[in-house]
Amino acid sequence: MLYRLKTDFRLSIITLLGVSGLLGITPFAVMRFVQGNLKAGLVDVCILLGVSGGVIYAWLTGDTRRSGYFMAVVSSYGAVLVGTIVGDPGLFWLYPCLITTFFMTPPRAAIAINLSAITLMVLIGEAFRGQEQMWSFVSTALVVSACAFVFASRNQDQRRRLEHLATVDPLTGVKNRRSMDAELDAAAASAERTGISHALVILDIDHFKRINDEFGHTVGDEVLVDLIALLEQNTRRSDQLFRFGGEEFVLLLAGVDGDGLKAVLNNLQQTLRKYLKSPGGPVTASFGVAILRHGESVGSWLSRADDALYQAKESGRDQIVFSDEPMPQAQFQPT
């Protein structure tokens, strides 16, 4: 539970706002029933049920987008109803709703919800004692919404940047190990559901340490960047590339196996031999390949590809080795 709250920002916000709403509204709901104001009490109960339902739905399904929209609409329009029933004291309930909508929905959607709630409150008009109070409410509500919009927009932009930094390798621009773990889990689930073949390729630059030692890490970084450019130019847009660590990269390919997969890898091997260079001459890579088996875990799949890469290194490097298959020397041996 605590882990989900720490790792899922929107779920933590929905939970916090839900708990705050329950603690803040419940006493007033009880008070209104005690005072005999059944309409206002029922509206408060409906808001409580809606907020509780939104929080429960978010926890059970993980769908924080729909639950956020639902809670924003329930709380905002519920505040309009409360203001209509109890008069100007109910106006104060709309202000926190104008702010929290920006935490539960995207900024543009929050603006639409806020403007519609403010407009409804004005059109009904029951909450205001006069024109001066009404226009004071409109101006302050718009200022609150504008400030919340600016804050939410900046916050959303910063979160996107942080998420990008957390999932992308800063040197090569490809996805990192953290992102790879999530994508491999998704690929395994997709393969079980659809039956589409998925291949995992771990490739490692041969003698990369020698390049760093002889020419420096700046040259080594340039070789890595050139490698990524060649791989991206010679693979499909649907194929996914990850930096596994150091000079090791993982290529995830869907919908290819057998001769088609061998042709793809043979083309990559020949391309690297021809175009990947360092000051010391041509640079090659070794490949370990594993096709996902039915019911296989991601850990086992990755381990088989890693074992195949080890065999490729042990066989003299610049080789392509398929897991659990003898290496086809005639096809993949350097020319």
**Which sequence positions are flagged as catalytic?**
247
Q: How many residues does the chain have?
A: 335
In this structure, what token pair is assigned to residue 184? 């491999």
Q: Which residues, 6 or more positions from 296, have their beta carbon under 8 angstroms from its beta carbon?
A: 188
Rounded Cα distance between 218 and 241, Å, is: 22
Residue 287: closest CA among 271, 302, 272, 269 = 269
**Helix extents (H) in 276-326:** 298-314
In this structure, what token pair is assigned to residue 18? 């839900």
Q: Where are the beta strands (DSSP E) in 149-254?
A: 198-205, 240-245, 248-254
The DSSP element (H or E) to which 331 belongs, if any, is helix 329-332
In this structure, what token pair is assigned to residue 316? 């003299």
CA dihedral in degrees (20, 23, 29, 31; nearest 10)?
-140
Rounded Cα distance between 262 and 267, Å, is: 8
Q: How many CA atoms lie within 13 A of 203 on its CB side?
A: 23
Residue 290: closest CA among 328, 317, 318, 250 = 250
Report DSSP state, residue 160.
H
Question: Look-up: residue for tokens 């041509």?
Answer: 282
Report DSSP state, residue 168.
B
Helix axis angle, 107-124 to 91-104, nearest 10°: 160
Q: Within 10 Å of residue 122's Cβ, how many Cβ atoms? A: 16
The percent of the chain in helix, strand and coil, each rounded to the nearest 5, is 70, 10, 20
